[in-house]
Amino acid sequence: MWKNLPLAFHQNARPAAMAALAANEQGKFWEFHDKLFTSTQKLAKEDFLRYAQELGLDMTRFQAAIAAEKYKGQVDGDAAEAAAMGVTGTPSFFVNGKFLSGAKPFEEFAKVINAELQRLNIPIPAGAPKS
Amino acid sequence: MAKRSRETDSERIPYQPKGSPPSRGNQGPLVLAGVAILLVLGGFSLAEVKGLRKELGEKVALLENKIADLQRKVEAAPKAQAPQRGPDPNRVYTVKTDGAPTKGNPAAPVTIAEFSDFQ
């Protein structure tokens, strides 16, 4: 699940977050997310429009959502929720509500996820990373 | 008796400066005068010394105020930083899911919420 926490010193992060939610509206959030992540230097409005076009989005709808700042409330709401929990940096993770800070190695996630499965008495799937 | 007193007088008069310890009453003004001369030689007037004392007093008071200020700030600091320490790792938080883009099986036993940004 993706939650938005555009950091104040990342000038384009907030419009990018809103654009990504406009893509989400058309079922292409993760595709749009990937485009933003592979080109973090290109986060101007015309870049968002180009990515939307490349993903075959309904451009009228996408542009209208951006022009109206349709997802401003959701982005700011996510950020406020993060602030209320004391989250100040990105990325920050909650695994079943348990806080995991920063870009941790995969093994760290596997450990926490397996611990959660164990706590819930769910067998860890065969072939799942054990560490 | 007269003879004796004269003797003692004549004995005492030459001895007084040698034998008796220097009395403060006699030397005090001398010392002050010396200091005053030194001060004058050093280019200080009494008014200047007084001004300097006053100035130093004010500076000390300022420093004391600043120290008291800093002490207050240091005492307040841990309280101010407490909410910035980040989420409690031993707590289970509820992250709102409504409207958030998701991936994977919605009924999965483990949900990961990622707070992130693009840039």
The label of the residue with tokens 């700030």 reads B73
Please give the Cα distance from B116 to A111 (Å, whole number).
Answer: 21
Token look-up 């950091």 returns A7
Q: Which two tokens stand for residue B85?
A: 């320490």
pLDDT digits (tens, 9 = 90+) for A25-71: 999 999 999 999 998 788 899 999 999 999 999 999 999 999 999 99
Encode burial over A82-94: b for 16+ CB neighbours within 10 A, e otherwise: beebbbbebbbbb
Q: Can you give the residue ranges of every domain in chain B?
A: 48-83
Chains A and B form CB pairs within 8 A to the count of 134
Residue count of chain B, please give it.
119
Q: Give the best residue of A94, A100, A117 to mutate against chain B (max B CB count within 10 A).
A: A94
Q: Rounded to whole angstroms, how far apart are CA atoms A72 and A49?
A: 18
Unique residue bearing structure tokens 């004549």? B10
Q: Give the contacts of A63 (CB within 8 A, at least 6 positions apart).
A: A49
d(CA B40, CA B47): 11
Q: Which residue has the tokens 């180009």?
A: A50
Q: What is the pLDDT of residues A116-130, one digit of tens each?
A: 999 999 988 888 876
Q: Which residues of A touch B82 (CB under 8 A)?
A: none
User: To which residue do tokens 């006053």 refer?
Assistant: B54
Determine whether the interchain pair B115/A117 forms a contact, defined as Cβ–Cβ distance below 8 Å.
no
Q: For residue A93, give the 3-state DSSP assignment.
A: strand
3-class SS at B21?
Answer: coil
CB A59 within 8 A of CB A52: yes
Q: Could you tell me the pTM of the whole model?
A: 0.64
Residues counted in chain A: 131
What does the pLDDT read at residue A131? 60
Distance CA A19, CA A4 (A): 12
For B36-92, what is each residue's pLDDT tens digit?
A: 777 777 666 778 888 899 999 999 999 999 999 999 988 887 665 555 578 998 899
Dist. CA B99–CA B28, nearest whole Å? 91
CB contact under 8 A, A16 and B84: no
Judged against a pLDDT cut of 80, whether residue B10 lies above it is answered with no
ipTM attached to this prediction? 0.92
Interface check for B3 against chain A (CB to CB < 8 A): the answer is no
Search chain B and give the residue with CA nearest A109: B112
Q: Please give the pLDDT value at position B2.
A: 46
Half-sphere exposure of A127 (CA within 13 A, CB side): 0
H/E element, A50: helix A45-54
> Can you give the residue ranges of every domain in chain A?
13-85, 91-131
Q: What is the mean pLDDT of chain B?
A: 78
Per the listing, tokens 């509500």 go with A97
Q: A95-106: per-residue pLDDT in tens?
A: 999 998 888 888
